[in-house]
Chains A and B, each alone.
Chain A
Amino acid sequence: MLKVDNLTKIFGKTRAVDDLSFELEEGDVCGFIGPNGAGKTTTMRIIATLEEPTDGQVRVGGESIHEEPYRIRRRIGFMPDHYGTYPDMTCRDYLEFYARAYEIEPKARARRIDGIMDFTGLGDIADKKVEELSKGMRQRLNLSRALINDPKLMVMDEPAAGLDPRARVELRYLIRNLAEQGKTVFVSSHILTELSEICDHMLIIDQGRKISFGSVEEIQRGLREGFEIRVRLVDPSQVEGLVRFLVQRPGIQDVRPGENGVLLFSLRDEAERIPALLREAVNEGFSVMEFRPETPTMEDVFMRITGQTNGGNNGNGA
């Protein structure tokens, strides 16, 4: 559905997007992560045909943005980070305007608008003026606008920005529903835990370059050079003994005793080693209450990956 090849965009002396390539299939939900100024919005604007790339190719449904930008516009729904100006219009007027702009047949218009308003939960406030809506409701209206042409690909730039927790949960639910309808969703956000819950793919970029792309599990697994194990003892006085016990074992690094009988360490070994290690500790007489490998959150992944690239760059620079 979406194929990006060697995409590059240069503004003056800045490479906003640098040789970016990835591919999404129909029904994929892909989270797009990167620090501020990483080139997320530029990439999305290029996909939406609003910017011309300096180099590279983008294909939506097999058609190139260089050859058929107008046809592609009809296939995508773009939710930008800005909202526009619509004083003195009700939600229904707003959608009616875009339905006319997309040249939807007059007979089908009302049906389409009602359907979308039901889907996004705007039915009850159809006659409310746009400027009176809350941020969450405006985002729903923005989403309704992007859906009016029944797009195959949804490009959403920071849709959760500024929303309260409830509105975020509702938005997540809407995005999942879109994927169930077979739409490909390409969504950027700063709220990373949220993305990991709704996305089946992740694309991480920094300074315009792709850092990582794959399924959420793949990214988390790829990051892991072993396991981060958390141990809690019933008797906190045993912690020192457990530290001595662990450092003598092969493959164990970075043992960090914490408070209240908690201890963290890294195990650079196969997963089968974890139950064996637990058995050994129990046999040594440690009263273990909790012994579990910790899964890195998307925040951890993001911080570690972008930290690595920054470190790498600094290293190069030095």
Chain B
Amino acid sequence: MFGRTLAGVYDNAMVYKDITQWLRNRTFLALFFGLLVLSEAVGLVCVSIPAEAGEMGPVAFGILSGVLALFVMTIALMGMTLTYREFHNRTFELYSLSGMSLERTIGGKSISMFAQFLFGFCCIVPFMFFSFLLGGLDFYLIFAVALSIAVAVPPLCLLALCTALHFRFKGFGILLWVGGIVVTILVASYISLFFIITIATRTSMPFGKPLDFFKALLDFDGDAWNGLSVFLLFYGQVCLLLFYLCCNAISPPQDSREHFVKFFAFTLTATALIAFASARLGPETLIVGGVSAFVMSCAIGLCYFYKSIEVPLMFAKRQRERRFFPGKILGVLFMPGAWGTLWTVLLIALAGGAFTGLVVSLKGSLLSDQRAISYALLPCQAPYFLIFPAGFLLNFERYRGKPKALRNAVLLWWVLVGVGLVVVVAALSDAQESNLLGPGQAAASSVCQILAYVVSPISAMAVGMPEYVELGSVLPWFRVVLGGMGVYLAIRSLTKTAARNRMERAKTRSAASS
């Protein structure tokens, strides 16, 4: 096992190809000399400028950190454009023809991108430590920043690959997409990193002082190490989720890694809920936890429920050959195709509901009963919001047998109808408060409010159920049951059709062979 892993890294064809291409590229020389000259120039300028002791150290450090961050972005962008070209002009087909596994392909690409980063890292970081000699800097801060950037690189590289493999860009759109995604991820990961650590360590570590955390780590502080382990747990899962999302993009109809994607999406939600539960409980935690489970269920449902119905050939073969418990069970629960998606969505929704229910029972006094129950039931209603817009849209010919169009339409439905109703309800509520509505219009306002609670998850979350409506306490339960039944019936009908097609094909095949 270890030998195979080592060979996978050492003798990986993709690492060989990407590194060779990079070394033969003129950009490499420009980057190599550019980084060295720039770092040295920054050092020399800072040394030569007459200033108070300790003034120039932070300046040099700031510039060099910026250069390193810029270099990371360059590596991610270069890797992304190369992968994008390779994937979209079918070069990846030639790789898969060689029998190179999906993991080896994506692993090789990630390793080569990280190796390219290490090259720049080794060029710049010595000069960052040199700025320590100029004074005004904490040694730990330099260490912390260098380490933070290094830690951010693997998910960033995987994200770049994921973007290249999942999206199709035109012209300058690529720059906008990449810029937007990179900035969002960097900000989100930076905030979530310290948010998670804060929760896990149960300390009120002020945001913006990561230095204290690193110092505490080096002092072998128990809370800090606990926080680090929670962070690593999340970090590992996020990296694996991105990794398998990349693998899954290559040839999903033949050989997918959809089960890993679903599995890590589930564990990530479960881990997040546990982290929330172990933190100080309160209504905010409850809302954040419930909403994240709800969003994750809907995202998985949208991405996979409205996509593949059939189990890919190679997955089915591997699953038949699996003999032992964890692999076999995980393969069934998170199976590629509609049934696996149903189980995953239900598992996430149930985990979200159970967590919220637990919090409600512990801290129920913080919320009104009805509101607390509606929060607890929120994640469990994900199947309802997934299946009912689709049921309505399937009345139209253009969406039948076109899962991609259906998926986009459901998303559009959520956004357009949801946001539209939120605006209408807000406007009517304002008018009602100012006593500008007649009796008929007041009834219309109530109808809009109920519709908003029923038709789109966005409006349901924004508007909530009006407390004066008699059905208010029953409706969430009703939706949970209705959603579960709807999803079950839809999948049963879809898989029946797929099985019938499969049987017909098998019949002709056996007739042909005989």
Contact surface of A with B, Cβ cutoff 8 Å: 5-6, 21, 48-50, 52, 54-57, 66-67, 69-70, 73-74, 78, 80, 82, 84-90, 93, 96-98, 100-103, 106, 129, 145, 149
Contact = CB atoms under 8 A, between A and B. Distances in A.
B505 A54 contact: yes
B313 A66 contact: yes
A97 B95 CA distance: 10
Contacts of B313: 52, 66, 69
Contacts of A54: 505
A52 B253 contact: yes
Contact of A55 (B11, B22, B508): B508
Interface in B479-514: 505, 508-509, 511-513
Contacts of A49: 97, 254
Contacts of B509: 5-6, 55-57, 66
Contacts of B13: 97-98, 100-101
B512 A145 contact: no
B444 interface: no
Contacts of B314: 69-70
B91 A97 contact: no
B89 interface: yes
B280 interface: no
Given A49-B254, A106-B11, 10 more contacts: A21-B512, A49-B97, A54-B505, A74-B99, A78-B94, A78-B97, A90-B24, A93-B24, A96-B16, A145-B94
Contacts of B22: 88
Interface centre among A49, A86, A101, A149 (most CB of B within 10 A): A101
A281 to B, nearest CB: 54
A70 B20 contact: no
A21 B511 CA distance: 13
Nearest to A66: B313
A70 B93 contact: no
A88 B99 contact: no
Contacts of A50: 93, 96-97
A88 B94 contact: no
Contacts of A66: 313, 509
21 contacts: A6-B512, A48-B97, A49-B97, A49-B254, A50-B93, A69-B313, A70-B314, A73-B99, A80-B90, A80-B94, A82-B89, A88-B22, A88-B24, A93-B17, A98-B13, A98-B98, A100-B11, A100-B16, A101-B95, A102-B99, A149-B98
Interface string B238-253: 0000000000000001
A55 B12 contact: no
B104 to A, nearest CB: 9
B100 interface: yes
B400 interface: no
A73 B98 CA distance: 7
A96 B15 CA distance: 12
Interface string B281-293: 0000000000000
Nearest to A53: B505
Contacts of B25: 87-88
Contacts, number: 100
A102 B505 CA distance: 32
A96 B17 CA distance: 9
Contacts of B16: 96-97, 100
Nearest to B105: A101
B508 A6 contact: yes
A145 B98 CA distance: 10
Interface of B: 11-14, 16-17, 20-22, 24-25, 82, 85-86, 89-91, 93-100, 253-254, 313-314, 317, 505, 508-509, 511-513
Contact of A57 (B24, B90, B96, B513): B513
Contacts of B11: 100, 106
Contacts of B98: 73, 98, 101-102, 149
Given A57-B513, A102-B99, A85 B91 contact: yes
Nearest to A79: B94
Contacts of B94: 78, 80, 84, 98, 145
A172 to B, nearest CB: 24
Contacts of B17: 89, 93, 97
A5 B21 CA distance: 43
Closest 3 CB pairs of A and B: A100-B13, A84-B91, A5-B512
A5 B511 CA distance: 10
B90 A73 contact: no
A89 B85 CA distance: 15
A256 B69 CA distance: 82
A129 B254 CA distance: 33
A73 B97 contact: yes
A11 to B, nearest CB: 13
B188 to A, nearest CB: 32
B22 to A, nearest CB: 8
A103 B12 CA distance: 9
- Identify the interface centre among B25, B314, B512: most chain A CB within 10 Å of its CB: B512
A101 B513 contact: no
Given A50-B93, A84-B94, A88-B25, A101 B100 contact: yes
A241 B95 CA distance: 69
Nearest to B23: A88
A89 B24 contact: yes
Contacts of A129: 24
A74 B17 CA distance: 20
Contact of B89 (A56, A69, A84): A84
Contacts of A89: 17, 20-21, 24
A93 B14 CA distance: 12
A82 B12 contact: no
A60 B72 CA distance: 46
B512 A56 contact: yes
A210 to B, nearest CB: 14
A57 B91 contact: no
Contacts of B505: 54-55
Nearest to B21: A88
A84 B20 contact: no
Contacts of B317: 67
Nearest to A7: B512
A257 B13 CA distance: 66
Contacts of B513: 5, 57
Contact of A85 (B85, B99, B253, B511): B85
A57 B99 contact: no
A149 B98 CA distance: 8
Given A6-B512, A89-B20, A101-B98, A69 B90 contact: no
Nearest to B104: A101
B99 A84 contact: no
